[in-house]
Amino acid sequence: MNDSGSTVSIGKVYPSPEAALDGISQGATVLIGGFAGLGSPKNLLGALRDSGVGDLTCICQGAWPQSPEVMDVSELVANGQVKKLITPLAMYPGSGGAVEARWLSGELEIETVPPGVLAERLRAGGAGIAGLFLPAVPGSRFQSDKEARTFGGQDFVFESGLRADFSLLRAEEADTLGNLIYRGSQRNWNPVMAMAGRISIAEVARIHESGGIDPEVVITPGIFVNRVVQAN
């Protein structure tokens, strides 16, 4: 393990969340794993909040405030660091806190994407696919301005693949090569977001030396993970 006082990484292992976030700058697009606080990279989110980096586009499952103990995307919004959210559910109307307030004031742009569509767009982006055709839903406001085609008598619309500059992830275990194992609901958005980030950063509970994880239980291969940091 690294000396916690060091700012230099050893392989893919970084000494702190702050060091692992090196390179995230104004205007970056960031994928944030987790669902309703489960599998959320709270240490990385806290470091990102404290960095003050702004003008961010955040892609996540949701941004409504969680319990006070859970660091979530809504804190970045409240801090004025987010210009746009791409998410299935930014808030519950009437209880959205800073997200709702900034959206109503015009300070925050929200692009609503159904969760299944978001997952497929991320999968396509992670696989290097420019986009894909998904079944059309008649009258859907999410598809009104998109290219439409008919295949086999069924209507489809084109959805572009999604990639981001950075992915912030949470996993249970990693090795120094970046191979990840998730526990329970950590395995929600984290695996697909790991593939779709140009630089993927995972905070984990335990870090093993290379060879310390059985390859048969690896969920996200290290080829998709650039940085690993010990979670508090």
Q: Which domains does the chain have, with CATH numbers?
A: 13-128+163-230 (3.40.1080.10), 132-160 (no CATH)
- pLDDT at residue 4, as a whole number: 38
Query: For residue range 178-198, what is the model confidence (pLDDT) as tens digits?
Result: 999 999 999 999 999 999 999
Name the β-bridge partners of 151: 154
Segment holding 132, helix H or strand E? strand 131-135
The tokens describing 81, both together, are 């660091």
Residue 105 to residue 115: CA distance in whole angstroms: 26
The tokens describing 39, both together, are 């599998």
Rounded to the nearest angstrom, the gap between the alpha carbon of residue 51 and the centroid of all alpha carbons in its chain is: 18
- pLDDT at residue 68, as a whole number: 61
Count of Cβ atoms closer than 10 Å to residue 154 Cβ: 10
Work out the percent of the chain whose per-residue pLDDT is above 70: 91
The tokens describing 78, both together, are 């409240």
pLDDT tens for the chain, 232 residues long, are 333 344 445 689 999 999 999 999 999 999 999 987 789 999 999 999 999 999 999 999 988 766 666 678 989 999 999 999 999 988 877 776 889 999 999 999 999 999 999 999 999 999 999 999 999 876 777 777 889 899 999 999 999 999 999 999 999 999 999 999 999 999 999 999 999 999 999 999 999 999 899 999 999 999 999 999 999 8
Residue 32 to residue 169: CA distance in whole angstroms: 6
State how far the alpha carbon of 8 is from the alpha carbons of 5, 20, 227, in Å. 9, 10, 12
Residue 134 to residue 12: CA distance in whole angstroms: 37
The tokens describing 67, both together, are 């319990």
- pLDDT at residue 53, as a whole number: 97
Rounded to the nearest angstrom, the gap between the alpha carbon of residue 110 and the centroid of all alpha carbons in its chain is: 16
Query: For residue range 67-110, what is the model confidence (pLDDT) as tens digits?
Result: 666 678 989 999 999 999 999 988 877 776 889 999 999 999 99
